[in-house]
Chains A and B, each alone.
Chain A
Amino acid sequence: MTAKVVTVTSGKGGVGKTTTTANLGVALARLGKRVVLLDADIGLRNLDIVLGLENRIVYDLVDIVEGRAKVRQAMIKHKSLPELYLVPAAQTRDKTAVSPQDMVQLCNQIRPEFDFILIDCPAGIERGFRNAVAPADEVLIVTNPEVSAVRDADRIIGLLEAERKGPGRLILNRVKAEMIRRGEMLSPDDVTDILGIKIIGIVPEDDFVVPSSNSGVPVTLNEESRAGRAFHNIARRLMGEKVPFLPLEEKLGFFARLGRLFGGGGA
């Protein structure tokens, strides 16, 4: 068996790359897959804190590349999911400490023991991006329904084609159904029309996401969360299952709609 390497990228910062990587990792592990999460954002380490593993770090990615630690020594096991591991980024170095070739070698080394290696790519289109994309079998592009994020996603799609890693699949994050209904937000169809690539997931804006990061328990572990369910479905699609997309909004009853009439909104 050999792991599939999936890189999560976006171009623009702040669209939810790290949250997406953490949640897909957790969801895949819950579906019985053996998963390594690789934080490639050297100098701006974050995947550890989102996963609640920030106090367990001994070695990091640069320690592995520079030979101070074996891969297994640097891997941190998740608290509740025994098949989920994190290789943290170095915090005190910069992107030039690692080369694309180092990333390919590292992934090849751990591929035989896992089902998925998910790489959290740094924002931007420079060295860190090339490092994260070099070993990828598949690339997921996270974007938001906003002009700046969609424009950056288009740039990334172009660069992926140039690196022969394209076209990648799209995750549209932080979607507000109520704003789409009012015509004040790009819809998933609009975004796929504009970018011309396939969509693998639509994640609604969800007030559970920030508290989840606050406590280091990814939102996909919360059954009540619609964003969590969306991440779970993306994980299943990554495994090759055909999973229908969730409706953008919970079905509203007549009285809820009556409330909308008088209250003016709210999804």
Chain B
Amino acid sequence: MANWWDRLFGRGGDADGTGKQAKSRLQFVLLHDRLAIAPEKMEAMKAEILDVIKKYIQVDTEHLDIALQRRENASLLVAEVPYLNARMETPDSDIETIGGDAAREERQKNDA
């Protein structure tokens, strides 16, 4: 409730009113509506992304957050992935080729 002073002078409004909730809930649900992706598919995608990341680094899955967000007219898929350590060994030889030292040197050469 706005206090008596605000009421008397016609100011204010309740910062914690349900209008704020309506806005944030709508913004969240519309991101999903607009992408037209079913929640189960979204979950499947998150799991798959996580599987890839886990191949390379140890992840704190407790505090993982992958979600759709809207920032200044851009819709983003934002992944916040707290990591613990780099994996000590690579699980298979494919990854060696993609992410290994040779590839890294190649990229650095291209950047320079």
Query: What residues of chain A have their CB less than 8 Å away from a CB belonging to chain B?
Result: 146-147, 150-151, 154-155, 158, 179-187, 190, 193-194, 196, 252, 257-258, 260-261
Closest to B17 in A: A183
B7 close to A257 (CB less than 8 A): yes
Tell me whether B98 is interfacial, beta carbon within 8 Å: no
Of the listed residues B15, B16, B19, B29, the one surrounded by the most CB atoms of chain A closer than 10 A to its CB is B19
Tell me whether B30 is interfacial, beta carbon within 8 Å: yes
B10 close to A154 (CB less than 8 A): no
**Known A180-B13, A183-B14: A257·B30 in contact at CB below 8 Å:** no
B4 close to A261 (CB less than 8 A): yes
Give CA–CA (A190, B26) in the complex, Å.
Answer: 10
Question: Which B residues are CB-close (under 8 A) to A252?
Answer: 10
Closest to B20 in A: A183
**Secondary structure class of chain A's binding surface, majority of residues:** helix
Question: Which A residues are CB-close (under 8 A) to B22?
Answer: 146-147, 185-186, 190
Give CA–CA (A147, B16) in the complex, Å.
Answer: 17
Tell me whether B33 is interfacial, beta carbon within 8 Å: yes
**Min CB gap A146→B, angstroms:** 8
Give CA–CA (A181, B25) in the complex, Å.
Answer: 20
Tell me whether B8 is interfacial, beta carbon within 8 Å: yes
**Min CB gap A135→B, angstroms:** 27
Tell me whether B107 is interfacial, beta carbon within 8 Å: no
Question: Which A residues are CB-close (under 8 A) to B7?
Answer: 257, 260-261
Question: Which B residues are CB-close (under 8 A) to A147?
Answer: 22, 25-26
Question: Which A residues are CB-close (under 8 A) to B8?
Answer: 257-258, 260-261
- New contact pairs (18) apart from A180-B19, A257-B10, A260-B7, CB-CB < 8 Å: A154-B30, A181-B2, A182-B1, A182-B14, A183-B13, A183-B15, A183-B16, A184-B18, A185-B22, A186-B22, A190-B19, A190-B22, A194-B27, A194-B30, A257-B9, A260-B8, A261-B4, A261-B8
Of the listed residues A183, A187, A257, A260, the one surrounded by the most CB atoms of chain B closer than 10 A to its CB is A183
A184 close to B10 (CB less than 8 A): no
Give CA–CA (A147, B7) in the complex, Å.
Answer: 27
Give CA–CA (A183, B13) in the complex, Å.
Answer: 5
A-B CB contact pairs (8 Å), 16 listed? A147-B22, A151-B26, A151-B33, A155-B33, A179-B19, A182-B2, A183-B18, A183-B20, A184-B14, A185-B22, A186-B22, A190-B22, A193-B23, A194-B30, A196-B73, A261-B7
B30 close to A186 (CB less than 8 A): no
Question: Which A residues are CB-close (under 8 A) to B20?
Answer: 183
In order of increasing CB-CB distance, the 7 nearest A-B pairs are A183-B17, A183-B14, A183-B13, A184-B17, A261-B7, A190-B23, A261-B8
Tell me whether B41 is interfacial, beta carbon within 8 Å: no
Question: Which A residues are CB-close (under 8 A) to B14?
Answer: 182-184
Interface residues of B in 1-53 (CB under 8 A from A): 1-2, 4, 7-10, 12-20, 22-23, 25-27, 29-30, 33-34
Closest to B1 in A: A182
B34 close to A158 (CB less than 8 A): yes
Give CA–CA (A184, B23) in the complex, Å.
Answer: 11
**Min CB gap B83→A, angstroms:** 35
Partner of A154, one of B16, B17, B19, B33: B33
